[in-house]
A and B are shown apart, each in its own frame.
Chain A
Amino acid sequence: MEKHFLSQYVSGKQKFMAEPWYNRCGDCIVYKTVDVAVVSNRIDEVLTIYESLKTGDSIGFKIKGVNGIVSKFGYDGLMIKSKQKGIIVQSISVTALLLAAYETGPMNIKRRQAYAGVLSSPQRPVLEIPIDSLQACT
C-alpha cells in the first residue's frame, strides 16, 4: 500500500469508534457504526444518511448546520443533564436535534422515512453531544 501523505503527522493506535462526533470545522455531527466505505445520501439541508457502499444498508448519518438549529430552538429544548463523577455535564440530545431539524423542513415521504429510519434504528444507543464541544471553527 502506498504511503499515506499524512503519515508523518499521525501516530498512535487506530481504533474505530461508533460514537457521535461534532466536527467544528464543518459544524456537523457525524455518526458512523461500521468502518467501511460509505455513500452519502443527502436527505435535506440537515440530514445525510451514510449508506454502506457494499450493501446499501444505512450505517450512520450526518447532521449539518448544528449551531443553526441550536440558535433557532435554544439549548433548553435540546438539552440533557447527566452526572458524571459528581460533575453535571450538559449535553444536547442528538434525537432532539433530529426532531427539531425535521420540524423545520417540508413534510414529505422521503424525509419522514429517512428521519424515522435514523431515529428507530434498533442498534442505535442514546446519543448526546456535550454543549462545550459545540464551538465552530474560527
Chain B
Amino acid sequence: METGPANYEQETINPEHPEGLKIKVIIPHLVYLRAYKHDPVKYENLRGAKEVLENPKRIFWGIREHNDGGWCYTGIPKKLYIKQSNAVDFPDGKVFAVYINPGLQVFDWTVEYADENDTMCPKDWKERYKSLIWKNIS
C-alpha cells in the first residue's frame, strides 16, 4: 500500500470482519489531487464518498473479473454536487458507490442506477460482484 502524509485515511467497516473493529482505508493523494485539479465536480463528490464510508448500507466483494478482490461500499449521501458550487438532494433511483482495491485504496466513487428491488444496491449487482458480504439492517 502506498503511504505518505498526503494520503487521506478514512475509517470504515472492516469488510472482512464487519462486526469487528473498524479499519482505515486510504484515499490516495494521486487520486484526489487529480480530481481536485482536473475534475472539480468529482472532487466535490468525494464528500459523498466519505459519508458512504462512514455509514455504508451494503458491502460487495469481488468487483472485477481481471483484478482479484476489491470491495464496493454503497449508500445514499445527503447531497450530490451537480456543479462545483451547486449541490442538490441525492436523486431518487440512484445509489452512491465507493470502490476500494485489494490494497484498501479508494480508487473511484460514482453515482449508479439503483436496483429496483433493493435501492441500496447498484443495478445488476448480482452479475457485477462476486458476493454481497454485508448489509446494514438497522
Contacts and interface: CB of A to CB of B under 8 A. Distances in A.
B38 A16 contact: yes
Interface of B: 1-2, 6, 8, 27-34, 36-47, 50, 64-67, 80-85, 87, 91, 94, 97, 99, 101, 103, 105-108, 110-113, 122-124, 128
Interface stretch (A37-45, A91-99, A119-127): A37-45
| A17, A26, A28, most chain B CB atoms within 10 A | A26
Interface residues of A, number: 40
A130 B86 CA distance: 35
A109 interface: no
Contacts of B34: 21, 23
A68 interface: yes
A37 B80 contact: yes
A52 B83 CA distance: 11
Contact of B81 (A26, A37, A41, A137): A37
Given A21-B38, A54-B82, A39 B99 contact: no
A1 B47 CA distance: 12
Contacts of A38: 110-111
6 contacts: A9-B32, A14-B84, A25-B28, A36-B41, A39-B111, A137-B101
Nearest to A66: B66
B29 A9 contact: yes
Interface string A60-72: 0010110111000
A10 B6 CA distance: 9
Interface of A: 1-2, 4-6, 9-10, 12-17, 21, 23-28, 32, 35-42, 45, 53-54, 62, 64-65, 67-69, 137-138
Closest 7 CB pairs of A and B: A68-B66, A26-B107, A65-B66, A25-B107, A17-B38, A40-B110, A10-B36
A66 to B, nearest CB: 9
Nearest to B7: A9
Given A26-B107, A42-B128, A35 B39 contact: yes
A64 B64 CA distance: 8
